[in-house]
Structure 1
């Protein structure tokens, strides 16, 4: 659950785009959560069985598994599905982003990215803008983005991956000074209404989880949560509205993860045998 190269990289973009709750999204979440601790292999029947534990009919599960193989997340062998080794670094990066939620504090450094990509490479310009949004970057102006300074390494990796490093200059600052108050500028740089809607969607989805079924509850919890750490930059409290739902959603995710994760993995181990 992160970014990768080649086919895997394209698949991850699809994963971020896919709305939580779809069959393919849920199966990707199952693969990302459980295949590594299960040894990296699983039979198609066992994966379909786990999907049925989420209320997914077998036919739909098999279709989703075909999509995961097409995107390169799973490799097909004789009677076995194997997690693509090329996907493991991508999943590990995703783990760090999804589980280790970072929030800026007052005085933390920001990163500014200035990128001028030739008109002849408009496709590359679009890719860069899209991928920076998935890092939680805000758009200050055309060709200038801002994001938390602790994402420095991810920005460098992204620029290298897209081949755009030669077009970009990076700056670090703890004191951005727009013409308006910083909180007002932040409301222009990020789509705060869309971020609020994501947090409220997540909190609504959590309210209907059946916690007596840890495997299904935890898988759906992760599937609903996974988009937020990629799009919400974790702005410091003074730049957020007083009624911001993000703090509550982070606390809710961490509490339910602690409550459900071990039991969910135990269920997966027993189900796969």
Structure 2
């Protein structure tokens, strides 16, 4: 019997359509109001992984192991299930093998698969004596909403001057709902202007932000959404700097570029490289809402980041899928 899950539990200024891509990748630490909450999320994820013993066993894999296992799993299922239409469940031993190639040990890999089942992103199925996983409907919808932005050649661009203002009111008794809504808004590129008032560049669809939310009807009744244009005495550069930490955003880009900009697009170990690249790209898209470059300085690195991702993705995507199919055949 596959040991994978044997003992695991069973089962404002304006919103942008492209911005729904943040549903793919989690909570950013760049919005000031959410920084503490986001840090708690990251500490919780890291604690779970460390408790499971995650540590690159091979120094050569150390660079590939920077992504949390959940981000790496999302990257894997996004590329094989969405980009290539692979509809079959993936055996747990295949996940373990692939995650091992990016420095995640077996116990950490199995722990994250169980966690993603509990969260409703993956479904666990049995194939004879083997445990396997495939995307749930909710997980597929979540990834699909973000796919266009992930693969866009200009994922940080919006129409000039396009902003959204959103306000909401959630009772104190529903702190859980408030926290979930704030997380969704952060994913969608919003920053908190003040309590209950959020702004975002571009024009995302609020229906995409709330899609799949159990209390979507309840939340929609509390949300007011406006297209907005800044007017004096508001100075847009000062407003942007107040809502978003631009030094943090720049560092997110620089971290991505330091890792990938000079990487040679060689044909070796493409699957491990691709899912690691995608996990880092997801994290960068989550962090940067696509603020107007005119207010960010001439050396803002978003264009370099986009070009770096496209260069490597286009070389690695096809051979990575062929490598995945070979692993599945021999599982």
Check whether TM > 0.5.
Answer: yes
SS of 1:241's equivalent in the other structure is coil
1:174-253 equivalence runs, <5 A: 175-206=229-260, 211-212=265-266, 213-253=269-309
Q: Quick one: which of 54, 58, 68 aligns to 1:22?
A: 68
Aligned-partner Cα distance in 2 for 1:248–1:61: 32
Aligned-partner Cα distance in 2 for 1:190–1:118: 26
Alpha-carbon offset, residue 251 of structure 1? 1.7
Q: 8 Å contact 2:77–2:135 — kept in the other structure?
A: no
Q: 8 Å contact 1:112–1:147 — kept in the other structure?
A: yes
Q: 8 Å contact 2:124–2:134 — kept in the other structure?
A: no
Alpha-carbon offset, residue 234 of structure 1? 0.9
Match of 2:166? 113
Alpha-carbon offset, residue 268 of structure 1? 0.8
Alpha-carbon offset, residue 80 of structure 1? 3.9
SS of 1:164's equivalent in the other structure is helix
2:152 maps to 1:97: no
Aligned-partner Cα distance in 2 for 1:23–1:169: 36
Q: From the superposition, tell whether residues 176 and 235 of structure 1 become closer, same or farther in structure 2 (CA, over 3 Å).
A: same
Aligned-partner Cα distance in 2 for 1:194–1:146: 18
Deviations 1:211-263 (A, max 9, x none): 43211111110011102223312122212122222221122112211121111
Q: Quick one: which of 119, 136, 147 aligns to 1:85?
A: 136
Alpha-carbon offset, residue 157 of structure 1? 4.0
Aligned residue pairs: how many?
Answer: 265
Deviates more, 1:64-73 or 1:128-137: 64-73
- The RMSD of aligned alpha carbons is 3.0
Deviates more, 1:57-66 or 1:155-164: 155-164
Q: Which runs of 5+ in 1 are unaligned?
A: 5-10
Deviates more, 1:54-63 or 1:228-237: 54-63
Q: 8 Å contact 1:35–1:42 — kept in the other structure?
A: no
Aligned-partner Cα distance in 1 for 2:209–2:232: 23
Alpha-carbon offset, residue 93 of structure 1? 1.0
Match of 1:259? 315
Q: Which runs of 5+ in 2 are unaligned?
A: 1-20, 29-37, 47-65
2:215 maps to 1:164: no
Match of 1:7? none
SS of 1:52's equivalent in the other structure is helix
SS of 2:192's equivalent in the other structure is strand
Q: From the superposition, tell whether residues 209 and 65 of structure 1 become closer, same or farther in structure 2 (CA, over 3 Å).
A: farther
More contact order relative to length (CA 8 Å, sep ≥ 6) = 2
Aligned-partner Cα distance in 2 for 1:198–1:162: 35
